């Protein structure tokens, strides 16, 4: 995977732009000005439809989660059990990181063939224009990079990250069983255990206030290569989800709530019943927006395929088995066409895949 990503970067040199300090820019540079055919903010419609909000203490939570997954592929959760002060500490830690001078942040820059560290959105290489955002990816321990950012005072940052990952892991496992449980799937039907060797990532995203938000893109339309993603967005709107027939729908920030979305691997496990939702992030003129995504996946070498409980002769498996690491390689190469590249050719018995994004213009 790493080599392919590195090749993709080499094919789209962006060395100079990589060092742009967005916060200091008074005008939108041409390199960041999106045209409508690239999927700029002016593309698509806004809709009055609302992404479901689910109280996890509701006795019907499993049913509600299942319905949200089938119809939207994204929902918000309240009463999720993650302490509010941890969310606030996480946000403060992220703000502190992105507030550092650019030269300092670059000391923890992501290596060209690496995944962890500071840099532009990884999907940038698939688009002709750059995004109005900066990111920090944490896989495994944050110590190595944190020490470069704050040589003498890194332990507080690391403690917050570790605490946050721990809480998110618990919540992610709970959510996965709610999502699968509503399809009648039990722990016995899934051979692997979420606690075994999976290596989830934490993605911190920063979207500085932008002088020309209507022509800028925070994070271009994509699906996540995960089982599920849990996103904490601070009180600034920006996240949009795409729904067939409704277009782009803003997912409004609700204090203390978390956004949960279905990723490509859960789409495969559910044999297409749950759409892996296409989403993107917009920017605004006055506020610095921060978000923290917890990317949850299976152990990296376990074969993921449509669950046998969900397939029969009328509903044949729509996808071939694929491991998380293999899928990440496919995604790095084919981006939004990755799902269709692992799709099997099955005659359509009026059976529609909820996830065919090949017709959606994403740039």
Contact pick of 64, 293, 342, 354 for ligand OGA (by CB under 6 A): 293
The encoded tokens of residue 80 equal: 């999720």
Q: Which does 239 bind (CB under 5 to 8 A by kind): Ni ion, ligand OGA, none?
A: ligand OGA
Q: Choose which of 279, 331, 343, 357 interacts with ligand OGA (CB under 6 A).
A: 279
Q: Which is nearer to ligand OGA, 239 or 354 (CB)?
A: 239
| Among the listed residues 61, 281, 283, 328, the single contact to ligand OGA using CB under 6 A | 281
Query: Would you list the DSSP string of 276-338?
Result: ---EEE---SS--EEEEEEEE---TTS-B---GGG--SSS---B--B-HHHHHHHHHHHGGGH
Residues 6+ apart with CB under 8 A from 312: none
> 247-250 and 53-55: which strand pairing?
unpaired
- Cα–Cα distance measured from residue 140 to residue 155, given in angstroms and rounded to the nearest whole number: 15
Q: Which is nearer to Ni ion, 224 or 264 (CB)?
A: 224
Question: 142 pairs with which residues across the strands?
Answer: none
Residue nearest to Ni ion as judged by C-beta position: 224
Q: Counting beta carbons within 10 angstroms of the beta carbon of residue 352, is it exposed (0 to 12), middle (13 to 18) or buried (19 or more)?
A: exposed
Binder among 91, 134, 167, 224 for Ni ion (CB under 5 A): 224
> Least CB distance from residue 344 to ligand OGA, whole Å?
27
Is 61 within 8 Å of 181 (Cβ atoms)?
A: no
Contacts to ligand OGA from residues 184-223, by CB under 6 A: 203, 205, 219
**Secondary structure (3-state) at 189:** helix
Distance CA 181, CA 101 (A): 47
Give yes or no for residue 238 binding ligand OGA (CB under 6 A). yes
Q: With beta carbons less than 8 A apart as the criterion, state whether 139 and 199 touch.
A: yes
Please choose, out of 19-27, 51-59, 231-239, 262-270, the segment that lies near ligand OGA by the rule CB under 6 A. Answer: 231-239
Judged by CB, which is closer to ligand OGA: 136, or 319? 136
CA distance 172 to 166: 10
Residue among 110, 215, 243, 289 flagged as catalytic = 289
Give the nearest residue (CB) to ligand OGA.
Answer: 291
Find the binding residues for ligand OGA in span 68-107 (CB under 6 A): none
Catalytic, 289? Answer yes
Which range, of 31-39, 114-122, 224-232, 296-304, touches Ni ion by CB under 5 A?
A: 224-232
CA 153 to chain centre: 29
Among the listed ranges 40-48, 172-180, 217-225, 322-330, the one in contact with Ni ion (CB under 5 A) is 217-225
Quote the least distance from Cβ 289 to ligand OGA, whole Å.
8
The binder of ligand OGA chosen from 234, 284, 291, 330 (CB under 6 A)? 291
Does 233 bind ligand OGA (CB under 6 A)? Our answer is yes
Question: The dihedral of CA 163, 256, 227, 315: what is its sign?
Answer: positive
Range list of β-strands (E), 158-218: 201-207
Binding residues for ligand OGA, total number by CB under 6 A: 12
Binding residues for ligand OGA, per CB under 6 A? Answer: 203, 205, 219, 224, 231, 233, 238-239, 279, 281, 291, 293
Catalogue the active-site residues: 289
Binding residues for Ni ion, per CB under 5 A? Answer: 224
């Amino acid at each position: 995977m790493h080599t392919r990503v590195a090749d993709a970067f080499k094919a789209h040199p962006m060395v100079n732009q990589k060092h742009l300090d967005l916060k200091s820019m008074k005008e939108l540079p041409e390199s960041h000005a999106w045209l409508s055919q690239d999927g700029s903010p002016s593309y698509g419609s806004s809709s009055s439809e609302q992404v479901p909000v689910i109280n996890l203490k509701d006795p019907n939570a499993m049913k509600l989660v299942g319905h949200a997954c089938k119809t939207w592929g994204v929902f918000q959760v309240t009463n999720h059990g993650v302490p509010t002060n941890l969310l606030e500490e996480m946000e403060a830690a992220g703000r502190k990181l992105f507030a550092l001078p650019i030269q300092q942040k670059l000391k923890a820059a992501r290596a060209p063939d690496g995944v962890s560290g500071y840099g532009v959105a990884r999907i940038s290489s698939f688009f002709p224009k750059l995004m109005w955002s900066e990111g920090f990816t944490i896989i495994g321990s944050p110590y190595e990079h944190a020490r470069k950012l704050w040589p003498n005072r890194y332990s507080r940052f690391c403690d917050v990250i570790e605490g946050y990952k721990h809480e998110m892991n618990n919540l992610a496992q709970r959510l996965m069983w709610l999502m699968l449980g509503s399809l009648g799937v039990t722990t016995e039907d899934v051979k692997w255990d979420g606690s075994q060797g999976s290596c989830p990532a934490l993605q911190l995203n920063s979207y500085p206030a932008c002088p020309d938000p209507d022509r800028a893109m925070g994070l271009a339309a994509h699906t996540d290569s995960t089982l599920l993603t849990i996103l904490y967005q601070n009180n600034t709107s920006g996240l949009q989800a795409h729904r067939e027939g409704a277009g782009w729908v803003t997912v409004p920030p609700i204090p203390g709530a978390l956004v949960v979305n279905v990723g490509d691997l859960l789409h495969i496990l559910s044999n297409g019943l749950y759409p892996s939702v296409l989403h993107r992030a917009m920017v605004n003129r006055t506020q610095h927006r921060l978000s923290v995504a917890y990317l949850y996946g299976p152990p990296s070498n376990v074969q993921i395929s449509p669950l046998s409980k969900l397939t029969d002769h009328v509903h044949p498996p729509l996808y071939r088995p694929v491991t998380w690491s293999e899928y990440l390689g496919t995604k790095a190469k084919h981006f939004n066409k990755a799902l269709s590249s692992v799709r099997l050719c099955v005659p359509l018995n009026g059976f529609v895949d909820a996830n065919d994004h090949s017709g959606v213009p994403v740039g």
